[in-house]
Structure 1
Amino acid sequence: QSAQNMKFGNVKVFPREAIEIHEVLGEGNFGVVRKTLIRTEEILRWAVLKIPKGSSGIQMDTMKELLAMAQIKKHPNLVEFFGLVTVDKSVCFLVEFCEKGSLDRLHKKEDLLAKPKYLYIIRDVCSGLHVLHTARVIHRDLACRNLLMRQDGTVAISDYGLSRRLGASNAYIVKKSRFPWAWTSPESLASMHFTKKSDIWSLGITLWEIATKGAKPYGAHLTSTSKRTISKLIQAGELRVSIPDAIKKTQPFLSHVIDVCLRHDPDERPSALEILEKTELELKLDLKQGALTQPNTAESDLCGGRFGSTTVLRSDPTTLNQSQTATSSAAADKRINALRECIQCSH
């Protein structure tokens, strides 16, 4: 094969000369992330280069992440994986560059709590998570730091470093691994078993981050209590993150989604698809109303029963004001249908 068309299995391998490495975007235990320009006969676009720290060749963790990323079909709510390149003897990943960066760095730059922005965020994340779960992949590291926003406001799930494919038991067991304990579900802290429902717990903590504009989960307790003690309290259901009263009053839908994601019993948590469908309904009703305003909580059934039940989280569409325009309704239907088609194509 020519240098321009090398492949590792079904993964494209770029020659080093096709990569122009630019500024550092971030640094951590994993290594360094740099903005990079891919320049080949077929491609000219910005990307992100993930350079692992102190390694050469393909390490086991790199291989696991590579396998997780390579098996997922392209989807608008998952960061696109372009391929591999070797830089200074280290095998590096090339992934999509999202212009606005990670959500944890946007709390003070943009109002992520503005409606409908937070609804679009929930929709996008659940859409991507549903694709992962349909492919029997659990993320295990869902957090604002791993959600990236493109210039158009679309959010995509990134960083598959902890992602693993589910076995026949529908759980992935961790024997020895560092993991983000503050985003980890009670049952996973206790057993080291990770499932789709433990990802939903992480989603709840992630949305809580947005609700608190970037607060650290259990941060107030870390000043006086050890991580081990906090972990035991979480496992016992005796310690929960607190949803701000202002969010409960002004954004009851967001508050409710956080609440149901953080149910102590994993069987009581909804699936990503269930949350996606409820969020679609919330968006559709807002768009049909013509004005993106917060509904009267007295007229909304937000807290009754199981999230995955047939309970509608907003007033029934038949009660909407008859003066609503057909144009806004058609636009809403078009958005929802396009999203559904996108999800179906990913199966």
Structure 2
Amino acid sequence: MIYLDYQATTPLAPEAREAMLRWLDGPDGTGFGNPHSPHRYGRQAAAAVEVAREQVAALFPAGGRVVFTASATEALNLAIRGCEPVRAGRGIAVSAIEHAAVWDTAECLPNPHHVIPVDAQGLVAADPPIPDGTGLVAVMQVNNEIGTIQPMADIARASRAAGALLLCDAVQAAGKVPVADADMIAVSAHKLHGPKGIGALWVRDGVDLTPIVTGGGQEGGLRSGTLSPALCAGFGAAARLAVGRMDEDAAHVAALWDRAAALFEGWTLNGSSGRRWHGNLNLRRDGIDVARLMSDVRTVAFSAGSACASGSGKPSRVLQAIGLNDKQAKTSIRLGFGRYTGIEDLEEAAAAIVAAAREQG
């Protein structure tokens, strides 16, 4: 089967797997220690966590700290619910194409809630409207459904001018492009060839957070719960690898994108063709039944929308935000490719998808 769903998750890098094995039990059976314990086993595990923290920190700007979480969703919840402006009742402004982890969290809070629109290309304006009284602005750097890359430097300036903190969901950006300058940044290991079950929140020095998960006070008092040294080590190894080969990976993805553009001639691209991560190809073809297409092309793993919303039966909120009607949104597919995708795999997958779509008339 050919895997083209890199936005949902990425294949585990062999280097990350190897780094994890030592801390599952280890060759001498001593790698299972609790990193919060004071004895030798615990100190060894704690040291591995701190090495991983430094490796993950290399994804971010200088001048902040990395807090490990169980997922990017938890990291985003910690940032939104735990930051001082939101707790003080100030407003939250989010882009119209945010992930549900941001969108749903902002909606369920009692704070004033403002939606920052995007244009037909899926881009926030360089000088977005931020209402008075806003305390937190949340904008995703690289969109998970359509791959558009936001003008984060401009948005950061606008947020500072409004006296608001900026939260960046960098889940699809980290390890692929330089991460934006923001006050809080959320990432996930399994979107950059690390293990599932671990994410991180980068917090700029001077930004105050209140924990939303209480208990043992681990992670500097910001997030309670025993850390997994194995997951941390895998995350760290994946982050180090991604930073070291960012240019190589980007060049490979660019070549795949150029080939895909030729293979899907006659299909319509959703979102900007220039300001996007080119490992995300979101396309539509009028008249196709996407559910039937996915059933007919069982040798290719791809998506009919974001993995988080699959099965809901609802048109994509992101595609609606860029002006697509329900019918157009429901004729869209998302192909995601990256480091371990071969040109031949992409060609074979595209041929199968195009042929099946053509059979529908």
TM-score of the two chains, using structure 2 as the length reference: 0.28
Structure with larger RCO (C-alpha < 8 A, sep 6+)? 2
Larger fraction in helix: 1
